[in-house]
Amino acid sequence: MRHSTHHGHVVALDVGGTTMKGGLVSATGQVLIAERRPTPRADGPLRVIEAIRAFTGELAAAGPGTPAGVGIAVPGLVTADTAVYSANIGWKDVPAADLTALPLPVRLGHDVRTGGLAESVLGAGRAERDFLFLPIGTGIAGAVVIAGEPYGGSSSRGGEIGHVPVFPAGERCACGQTGCLETYASAASVARRYTERLSRATSLHQPAATWDAYPAAQSPMAPETMTAEQVVDLAMRGDPDAAAVWDDALEALSIALASYTLLLDPAAIVIGGGLAEAGEALFEPLAERLTARLAFRTAPPLRRAALGVHAGMLGAALLGWQAAGVPDAGSTWTVDVLRSPSVP
């Protein structure tokens, strides 16, 4: 492996719907500065653009000298130089030059694919050329990594594994389609479906004479405030409603991952996002079900993502180095960002 001889640092920014994660990352992968700010999404797209511009400027000013480039990961439809569309943020056709006032080369990337790039170059996909990066959070989207590069398809609209139809006659998804993976298996859906299931159970019990016997204290807290993590925890402890909801989520994931495996033959499936924190409760039964769904081929190994919430910002740093003319940046980094003291 050739060591890059470039010095200096780049500005890296990961723009999420709630939080922006920014940093300065050196040519050897050192995270010089890392900072979070809220995304002012409720104030409209112009305010978000201003906030991005301010954040990149202030990060650059805080560093030791002039940065070599800027990388920014954004949601929605995006090319290397334009944030084409995001329903979430509400913008349309924003040129990269509007997202930073710095007179530096800039490169944009799709949020999930930029995270996939980081896992590919620096993280759990480092040893593989072909894998799926699947962050399971509030929603579900994937980065299809082919020959080390996240692949967006013919019009950058690929990777929507959260909306493949896993139960074709199933529940209506918020997206308007029927039976999408996301409507069963995202963290938000696991929490929502458990709550819905309990209220259905309650309304069934209400007219019955046994209402007083309904064990209202069965759950440790009111179901409206449950998180997916708490539902998984309840399922592990034998709560039948939580177990049924978690079972549906695992079944939906196994179907989508079986389809992915048969179509694209990945060397590994790297799972990140909040639900990956479920650990054994997710990985063990999911690996079992995926194996059971496949008759004539083995299942790829399921791995936990290595970079956690930092994947997007580190991927944006790689984009920044690409913009600066150092396309092989990252290949020699030994990032241990999860334990790095410079990242809060």
Binding of a copy of itself by 309 (CB under 8 A): no
Binding of a copy of itself by 119 (CB under 8 A): no
Distances (CA, A) of 150 to 37, 46, 76: 27, 29, 15
**Whole-number minimum distance, CB 179 to a copy of itself, in Å?**
9
C-alpha 42/C-alpha 232 separation (Å) is 31
Binding of a copy of itself by 255 (CB under 8 A): yes
Binding of a copy of itself by 286 (CB under 8 A): no
* β-bridge pairing 82-85 and 143-146: unpaired
Count of chain residues binding a copy of itself (CB under 8 A): 47
Among 111, 128, 239, 241, binds a copy of itself (CB under 8 A): 128
Q: Give the DSSP H/E element, type plus range, for residue 82.
A: strand 82-85
Binding of a copy of itself by 266 (CB under 8 A): yes
Contacts of 338 (CB under 8 A, 6+ apart): 306, 307, 308, 310
Among 297, 334, 341, 344, binds a copy of itself (CB under 8 A): 297
Bridge partners of residue 26, in order along the sequence: 9
Find the binding residues for a copy of itself in span 136-155 (CB under 8 A). 142, 144, 146, 151-155
263, 288, 252, 78 alpha-carbon torsion, rounded to 10°: -50
Contact by Cβ (8 Å): 39, 55: no
**Whole-number minimum distance, CB 146 to a copy of itself, in Å?**
6
Binding of a copy of itself by 80 (CB under 8 A): no
Find tokens 């909801």 and name the residue.
245
Which window, 100-108, 119-127, 165-173, 309-317, contacts a copy of itself (CB under 8 A)? 165-173
Among 32, 244, 267, 287, binds a copy of itself (CB under 8 A): 267
Secondary structure letter of residue 298 according to DSSP: P
Which window, 100-108, 117-125, 175-183, 209-217, contacts a copy of itself (CB under 8 A)? 175-183
Binding of a copy of itself by 244 (CB under 8 A): no
Binding of a copy of itself by 295 (CB under 8 A): yes
How many CB atoms are located within 10 Å of the residue 12 CB? 34
**Both tokens of residue 20?**
């922006």
Which residue, among 105, 69, 99, 104, has the nearest Cα to 83 in the 3D structure?
99
Question: Looking at beta carbons only, is 9 or 289 nearer to a copy of itself?
Answer: 289
C-alpha 252/C-alpha 103 separation (Å) is 47
C-alpha 153/C-alpha 233 separation (Å) is 37
Question: Looking at beta carbons only, is 57 or 158 nearer to a copy of itself?
Answer: 158
Binding of a copy of itself by 161 (CB under 8 A): yes
**Whole-number minimum distance, CB 113 to a copy of itself, in Å?**
12
**Both tokens of residue 63?**
């560093």
Contact by Cβ (8 Å): 140, 328: no
Question: Looking at beta carbons only, is 100 or 261 nearer to a copy of itself?
Answer: 261
Question: Looking at beta carbons only, is 14 or 251 nearer to a copy of itself?
Answer: 251
Binding of a copy of itself by 90 (CB under 8 A): no
Which residue, among 219, 225, 227, 278, has the nearest Cα to 253 in the 3D structure?
278
**Whole-number minimum distance, CB 156 to a copy of itself, in Å?**
7
Binding of a copy of itself by 84 (CB under 8 A): no
Residues engaged in binding a copy of itself (CB under 8 A): 128-131, 142, 144, 146, 151-161, 163-168, 173, 175-178, 251, 255-256, 258-260, 262-267, 293-297, 300
